[in-house]
Chains A and B, each alone.
Chain A
Amino acid sequence: MDPAGVFATSFAQDQALIRTSPQRLALVILVIAMLVLPLLVEPRIVAIATSMLITAVVVLGLQINTGLAGQINLGQAAFMGVGAYTTAILAAKLGWPIWAALPAGGVSAALFGFVFGMSAVRIKGFYLALTTIAAQILFHFLVLNLPSSWLSGSNGITVQPAEILNFKFDSDRSIYYLCLAVVAIMLFGAYGVARSRHGRAFLAVRDDDVASGMMGINVVRTKAVAFLLGAFYAGIGGGLWAYYVRFVAVDQFTLFQSIWFIAMVIVGGMGSITGALVGVFIIKLAQETISSAGTTIVEHVSFLSGDIVFAAMNIFLGAMIAGFLIFEPRGLMHRWNIMKRSYRLWPFPY
């Protein structure tokens, strides 16, 4: 929603991502803040920010798949795992450079996701959710049961640091900048998808797939593309994860993680690309703050032991998410949009 008095007079303006000067200024400030962040804060914050950036890529994909196209997906962690394994194998066993291994990880995850996208053609809702859980189980099964020379089975895969033009991404700061660059590209792509013909088709199918079909939208193709794109993002996130942790194992990509990804989309706001980023930020921040606060409390309050404090902290985290679902189920971006609307109409609300 644009402020009062701002309106597009050309198609280019209508499609522009940045529509006002304050938006441009805010973006510039954000970019500068993100660039200088590792130089100003302690390593723990840099590590948290890196973790947020990797998760953001995965959740952006889920936002396209679930938030925009309405296809419930509880297998996003499995798609991330496929991307991580592909990137790790290509990098560690075949010596591919990051600029080739990372997109290849995305493509392999997209193909894996596409298979489940085909099932979305016939089923939806809870049934689709169950099918995507099958993706999670299938991924686990394949990794552990295919010949260990292929995917290393239970041994996992060790990955060397990413390297571009003889520069090694082996420090906390360097990996942060790598993730930041990838997130910028993927974010731009996500906004592009949302504004495109495909994005509008996603929204139409999400709101009513029968009516969409009658309007001439290819529903089968749209659902499949939604899964393809969502899984591609997850695969790229998985590839980044492989280069970040430098060790990939099957138990790093669990159903529990997929549920956290869904929680991030809900907290941020379904259907909003910015909401995906907000959701990641809020949930990750809560997790990390609670983890740090627990340690500090245990250290300073001698009569409280770790088991009590950390358990209480986790209950607090759960209560916070439940609170979001009860009081603002449409996410923080919905609340933000209400605020913007009030501001736009002020002082004449009617």
Chain B
Amino acid sequence: MEHHEALLSIVAFPVLIEMEVAIHATPPSAVLLLTLKEIEVHNYKEEFAKRNRSVNSWLAGSVGILSMAFGTGGAQAQTTYNLAGLADFTGPYADIMKDVTGCRRGVVEWWNAEVGKDLGVNLKVKDYDTRYDVAQVASLWPGAKSELNPVLVFGIGGPDAAALQERLPADKVPMIMATAGYGYGWKPNPWVFNARPTYPHEAAAFMEWFRTKRGGDAPLKLGIISSEASPAYVDIHKGMEKFAKDNPKILEVVETIYTEVQPTDLTSQVNRLIRKGAEVIQVQTNTAAVVAVRRALQSLGKNNIPIMMSAHNSLQASGKAIGGLAQMEGSYEAYGMAIPTEDKTTARAFFEKLRDKYKVSSGYNVACLMGLNQAIVAVRTIESAAKAVGPTKVTGEAVRTALLTVPITSEQSFGILPSLNFSNDAPFPTKGLTVNIGSVQGGKYVIVDQNVTVPILNKW
């Protein structure tokens, strides 16, 4: 923690001393009173009247300059708190990490300048490369904790949660993840939080929306392409199967097919799903799988069957991989944060402000939004904590308490996220959740619906 004390005197320049106490800056108004009193004493001596007028002018000038230099509202204490930023610069997600970390840093810089300054709080982020490896996270964390004494951690993915979920309650530091949640993390008393619900929550919202759009009473027939390469992938389709089992009138999973993690040709697998009547194919694994499914649909002449994907394998990313967004025509993405289209949304306006004023060099894409969403939750929560306990008394525990007690409205997140109400029951808000749905229509990336309600899912 870094604190400063500024001592202001009438005749001296301000002296800044770095020490472990809060700032006690003498307000300019007090300086002015002291100055006038001294001037009065001098006025009693007529022989020095002329000189006093001169001193009066000099002091008044000094006070004026110092008042301007230190602001008219009184100098505001700045207590600096550290945030540990876990990042994957050399692992499987290295290609998007510049955007993720760049955008989350941009949010912190914006908050420091426009909110934290008045609140008396300054935030500082230090990034650590975890290689997306549990062992690396486990060995990095004790050092990061002792070095920074962070009040909050930015997490990127599963390894961060796996390595720290049992440690953070003891260390009293909450972690905010960039991704959606997972069923295996759905436990009470969390210290690891997701601003977005689980992937099955987001997918289930889309399925209900798509079924309504299709019309009719029959359940929507869903085919799932998944992989056993990661337990997270398995978790996603198990969540969907559970939702379908609990809601047979809404959804029917015709089959879940495991493929290689980087499939090249899925024609026979996709054909099998089509023969079983799949109306939508859900691919929430990775971009390679989306590309393979799309190629299979094209070769089978079934371009009318949409693929539903998530944020990390979004339309933008998959379109880029397949050779053009137009090839993703009619497919959808659904997730619980803003969709980075060209539309003039408040989220986009906020990003442009970060880009223009706070030198964020990232493009406006899903990776950037992942960074924005976790950072905005972090800064708004620290803001609530600082208001609740005071700007000099913010701790990890106070941040967690604020996260669980103070809602974050959609306005506060500039429309990046829906309004969030965290509780002690789950690492993500379980009520009032919504998702946004994007698609490619007429070759253009568009938002087709916003604030689509997420249905209630039972644990799987």
Question: Chain A interface (Cβ within 8 Å of chain B)?
Answer: 42-48, 50-51, 55, 140-141, 144-145, 153-156, 158-159, 170, 172, 244-247, 249-252, 287-288, 291-292, 294-295, 298-299, 305-307, 309-311, 313-314
B136→A291 contact, CB < 8 A: yes
User: Assuming the A-B contacts A48-B139, A154-B234, A295-B127, are A305 and B98 also in contact, with contact meaning beta carbons closer than 8 angstroms in the complex?
Assistant: yes
Q: Can you name the residue of chain A whose Cβ is closest to the Cβ of B237?
A: A154
Shortest beta-carbon distance from A168 to chain B in Å: 11
Residues of B within 8 A of A45 (CB): 143
Quick one: given A305-B98, A314-B90, are A252 and B134 in contact (CB under 8 Å)? yes
B138, A245: Cβ atoms closer than 8 Å:
yes
B170, CB-defined interface residue at 8 Å:
yes
Do the beta carbons of B87 and A306 come within 8 Å of each other? Answer: yes
B147 within 8 A of A: yes
Known contacts A43-B143, A158-B166; is A153 also within 8 Å of B234 by CB?
yes
A47–B142 CB distance below 8 A: yes
A299 touches B126 (CB 8 A): yes
Number of A-B contacts (CB under 8 A): 123
Within the complex, the shortest CB–CB distance from B44 to chain A, in Å, comes to: 57
Task: In the A-B complex, list the 7 residue pairs whose CB atoms are closest, starting with the nearest.
Answer: A44-B143, A310-B89, A154-B231, A43-B142, A246-B166, A155-B184, A154-B234
Given A44-B143, A288-B139, A306-B97 contact (CB < 8 Å): yes
Are B138 and A47 in contact, with the CB atoms below 8 A? yes
Q: Which of B51-59, B157-165, B283-291, B425-433 contacts A (4 or more CB under 8 A)?
A: B157-165
A156 pairs with B231, CB closer than 8 A: yes
Chain A: minimal CB distance from B438 (Å): 26
Given contacts A154-B232, A307-B94, contact A287 B136 (CB under 8 A): yes
Contact of A306 among B98, B159, B167 (CB under 8 A): B98
Which DSSP category, helix, strand, loop or mixed, fits chain A's interface?
helix
Instruction: Report B188 CB to chain A, min CB distance, Å.
Output: 13
Cβ distance B106 to chain A, nearest Cβ, rounded Å: 13
Q: Name B residues whose Cβ lies closer than 8 Å to a Cβ of A.
A: 87, 89-90, 94, 97-98, 101-102, 126-129, 131, 134-136, 138-147, 158-159, 162-163, 165-167, 170, 183-184, 228, 230-232, 234-235, 238
For A311, the chain B residues whose CB sits under 8 A away are: 89-90, 94
Given A47-B140, A252-B135, A291-B136, 13 additional A-B pairs, CB 8 A: A43-B142, A51-B139, A154-B231, A244-B138, A249-B162, A251-B159, A291-B128, A306-B87, A307-B89, A310-B89, A310-B90, A310-B129, A314-B131
B144's nearest neighbour on chain A, judged by CB, is A44
Contact A42 B146 (CB under 8 A): yes
Interface of B is mostly: helix
Most chain A beta-carbon contacts within 10 A, residue among B98, B167, B231: B231
When A44-B142, A47-B139, A47-B143 are in contact, do A306 and B230 touch as well, CB less than 8 Å? no
Within the complex, what minimum Cβ distance (angstroms) separates A286 from chain B?
Answer: 13
In the complex, chain B residues whose CB is within 8 Å of the CB of A246:
166-167
Q: Which residue of A lies closest to B129 (CB)?
A: A310
In the bound complex, how far is the Cα of B146 from the Cα of A42, in angstroms? 8
Kindly list chain A residues whose C-beta atoms are within 8 Å of the C-beta of B232: 154, 251
In the bound complex, CA of A48 to CA of B137 (Å): 11
* Bound-state Cα–Cα, A306 to B146, Å: 22
Q: Which residues of B contact A44 (CB under 8 A)?
A: 139-140, 142-144, 146-147
Q: Known contacts being A47-B138, A307-B94, A307-B98, is A295 close to B231, with CB within 8 Å? A: no
Q: Establish whether residues B166 and A154, one from each chain, have CB atoms under 8 Å apart when the complex forms.
A: no
Q: A291-B128, A307-B94 are in contact. Are A144 and B139 (CB under 8 A)?
A: no
Contacting residues, chain A, for B131 (C-beta < 8 A) = 291, 314
Check A247/B166 contact, CB under 8 A, given A47-B141, A306-B98, A310-B90. Answer: yes
Residues of chain A within 8 A of B89, CB atoms compared:
294, 306-307, 309-311
Whether A156 and B90, one on each chain, are in contact in the complex, defined by CB atoms closer than 8 angstroms, is: no
Q: Is A313 a contact of B158 with CB atoms below 8 Å? A: no
Q: List A contacts of B142 (CB < 8 A).
A: 43-44, 46-47, 172
Known: A140-B228, A251-B158. A295 touches B135 (CB 8 A): no
Bound Cα distance A249, B147 (Å):
29
Complex Cα–Cα for A47 and B404 (A)? 31
**Known A47-B141, A249-B231: A170·B170 in contact at CB below 8 Å:** yes
Nearest-neighbor residue (CB-CB) of A315 within chain B = B90
Taken together as a complex, chains A and B put the C-alpha atoms of A238 and B159 apart, in Å, by: 17
Which residue in B143, B159, B170 is a CB contact (below 8 Å) of A42? B143
CB nearest neighbor in B for A287: B136
